[in-house]
Amino acid sequence: MVNHEFFRECVSLMEDNGIDSAYFDTKCIFEDFPDDKEKILSLVKRRSEGYPLQYLLGQWEFYGYPFRVNENVLIPRADTELIIENVIDIVRKNNMKSPVIADLCSGSGCIGITLKKQIPFAEVYAVEISEKAIEIIRENAVLNSADINILNADVLCPETAAKLPALDIIVCNPPYLTQQEMDTLQKEVTFEPSLALFGGADGLDFYRKVTSLWKNSLRKDGWLVYESGDGQHGDIENILGKNNFYNIILSRDLNNIIRNVTAQKPEEM
């Protein structure tokens, strides 16, 4: 039984603290903890301090699949679903029968696991440096019955690429925020791991290093699909061009921001 007065109080508490999505967030908390007034109140108070709803609920949806989340992993963003669409397109248009796909900087595992669910005949590798994130990827693979290969390793270390087979597709949503962006984060984002956010002074460290380190792991005409930050696509195009990639394609997210930069590897490197 929803206590309407208590519900209103919770919404007001969040609103008074500047939470724009107060009604939605309160509803989510009430749905997950229907009979526990004390618990609800403590979560509402925490949310009012700017703590992310997703961490409070412990689970969030990505491409229609459930994913466990905690402070050790970036919260899956709706914008990142664009990567899934792009990879599904690549596999279909190129008639790939058993693509080998690597998800670098896997985090919660949402990209790699979703790709395995959507393309069951693919062989998927999730590579992640954080041991605590690896635990979450394992949980999410079980939760979604996704048979993927999980590797605890640094994607910036040259030995890591050698541990994987030849790849048809590399997807990567790396940390890409600049130092300036790190200094002015939205309150909610300050609770997310900086390891998953900070991409070096200009935000481009991972694009530079991943492109040059991993291009040799791609098969000829293999695809590299990056998520990128707002306004970074020009720099990433340059990096890909310098590494001789061709067929550079830009795609936009739901907010009409260029969010993915995709390119193919040529025969000669």
Whichever of 95 and 184 has its CB closer to ligand GLN, that residue is 184
* Half-sphere exposure in the Cβ direction for 208 (13 Å, CA): 8
DSSP 8-state assignment for residue 196: G
State the minimum distance, in angstroms, from the CB of residue 196 to ligand GLN. Answer: 6
State the minimum distance, in angstroms, from the CB of residue 184 to ligand GLN. Answer: 11
- Interface with ligand GLN in residues 189-248 (CB under 6 A): 189, 197
- Interface with ligand GLN in residues 166-185 (CB under 6 A): 173-177
Whichever of 176 and 207 has its CB closer to ligand GLN, that residue is 176
Q: Which of 86, 72, 95 is nearest to 114 (CA)?
A: 86
Counting contacts by CB under 6 A, is residue 27 touching ligand GLN?
A: no
Counting contacts by CB under 6 A, is residue 62 touching ligand GLN?
A: no
Taking CB atoms, the residue at the shortest distance from ligand GLN is 176
- End-to-end alpha carbon distance in the chain: 65
State the minimum distance, in angstroms, from the CB of residue 30 to ligand GLN. Answer: 27
Whichever of 45 and 77 has its CB closer to ligand GLN, that residue is 77
Counting contacts by CB under 6 A, is residue 257 touching ligand GLN?
A: no
* String marking each residue 72-101 x if it binds ligand GLN according to CB under 6 A: --x--x------------------------
Query: Residue 206 carries which side chain, given as an amino acid letter?
Result: F
Contact 10, 44 (CB under 8 A): yes
Total residues at interface with ligand GLN (CB under 6 A): 9
Contact 148, 126 (CB under 8 A): yes
Q: Could you tell me the two tokens for 74? A: 């970036």
Alpha carbons 235 and 220: distance in angstroms, whole number:
24
Contact 79, 70 (CB under 8 A): no
DSSP 8-state assignment for residue 243: T
Residues that bind ligand GLN (CB under 6 A): 74, 77, 173-177, 189, 197
